[in-house]
Structure 1
């Protein structure tokens, strides 16, 4: 087994082992974070204007996927963990969920109008993250919107930390935005917020638009 495959298997196994606990902790999380909800709402407005289905990649128990559906989007979820996908399907029977890896999606080029990666690229080893962004760009139509949520490094370098499930990484927002630009995205906006009373780290959010590969420019919706 390659090192990359071993990492993906370890991440999947770690989430499979805590499905019920993780789902319970995440159930009402969006209720207490109005700034985060505002970023998701902005993404939904952009994605609706651009058209095309939306994928939540690394959807976990499916709560954000369901929230996106409630905002009027044609959305489905993808997750590496079979246990999380089983939970999401049972909890949200009207939505579609599938097992898959974010860096090797079973989707045609340009198939999506939007992607949400809600604290899901945080487990990717830093050297592998460009491949994830390249895959996001491949499956997004020109002008499609990408929303990234992550733990921000607060002025420091990329830093590993002891996430409650498995090793994760905090990223400087400028470094993460630059990786996305190199993969063919243009920044629309960003939001940083300080940690809440039950949180350890600053939260980062980036809204990006996929450039048209023929011109190297973003396409307006």
Structure 2
């Protein structure tokens, strides 16, 4: 464990480690019942396959359902999650797919390694002041021409603290970002948004869901920093 890592990373790890034993039963594969979401993920898979052989990282992979779906679509993919217990759950549930423990603020990857990044509903625990750090990491590890698909429940840049989840006491912050806020941060990270989809809340939901597809320029001349 890195003593220098942000407090929100430690809190997220502890919270999801506590919830992991019950998480899969409470949160099954959401894409199975969301055809529009599936279509957006399939389009992302088509883009990264066409881009080339570089792998895709599913960041904040949780139980690994999205990682496994991308794998089934022929994408070379691996999952990354901050919680060791969630990674263990993902490995048990999807033994044919690779999963690793890692953090979005400091990805253990060389520059220009990934053809794509999927970050579905994982930035909701990232405070706004850390978004530049996280998205700079996305830019660093993407190959020129690579894509990032970022999805999240929206809000007016609200901060909500959760003290309980799946019967466990915890201190887990949720940050409901406005889509324009995330789009602006992506642009500042040299990952301009190329597609923007906003989905209305489901019958049991309260928040809109945003999908932003961003891309690293083909002719990017970054130094890998």
Asked whether the two chains share a fold, i.e. TM above 0.5, the reply is: yes
Asked if 1:172 corresponds to 2:178, the answer is: yes
Judged with a 3 Å threshold, the aligned counterparts in structure 2 of structure 1 residues 86 and 2 are, in CA distance, closer, same or farther, namely closer
Structure 1 residue 184: deviation in Å?
0.9
8 Å Cα contact 2:120-2:151 kept in structure 1: yes
How large is the Cα RMSD of the aligned pairs?
A: 1.7
**Deviation per CA, 1:120-172, whole angstroms, max 9, x where unpaired?**
1110111011100000000000000100011112xxx3111356752211111
- 5+ long unaligned stretches in structure 2: 166-171
Residue 192 of structure 1 corresponds to which residue in structure 2?
198
Instruction: Write the distance in 1 (CA, Å) between the matches of 2:193 and 2:133.
Output: 18
Residue 218 of structure 1 corresponds to which residue in structure 2?
none
8 Å Cα contact 2:8-2:125 kept in structure 1: no
Residue 116 of structure 2 corresponds to which residue in structure 1?
114
SS of alignment partner, residue 20 of structure 1:
helix
Instruction: Write the distance in 2 (CA, Å) between the matches of 1:213 and 1:19.
Output: 39
Instruction: Write the distance in 2 (CA, Å) between the matches of 1:26 and 1:115.
Output: 22
Instruction: Write the distance in 2 (CA, Å) between the matches of 1:3 and 1:202.
Output: 34
Structure 1 residue 20: deviation in Å?
2.6
- 5+ long unaligned stretches in structure 1: 216-221
Asked if 1:129 corresponds to 2:131, the answer is: yes
Instruction: Write the distance in 2 (CA, Å) between the matches of 1:21 and 1:202.
Output: 26
Residue 161 of structure 1 corresponds to which residue in structure 2?
160
Structure 1 residue 63: deviation in Å?
0.5
Structure 1 residue 2: deviation in Å?
6.7
**Deviation per CA, 1:37-72, whole angstroms, max 9, x where unpaired?**
111011101100111100001101100100111111
TM-score normalized by the length of structure 2: 0.89
Instruction: Write the distance in 1 (CA, Å) between the matches of 2:125 and 2:137.
Output: 16
Instruction: Write the distance in 1 (CA, Å) between the matches of 2:21 and 2:206.
Output: 22
Instruction: Write the distance in 2 (CA, Å) between the matches of 1:28 and 1:123.
Output: 20
Residue 9 of structure 1 corresponds to which residue in structure 2?
10
Residue 49 of structure 2 corresponds to which residue in structure 1?
48
TM-score normalized by the length of structure 1: 0.91
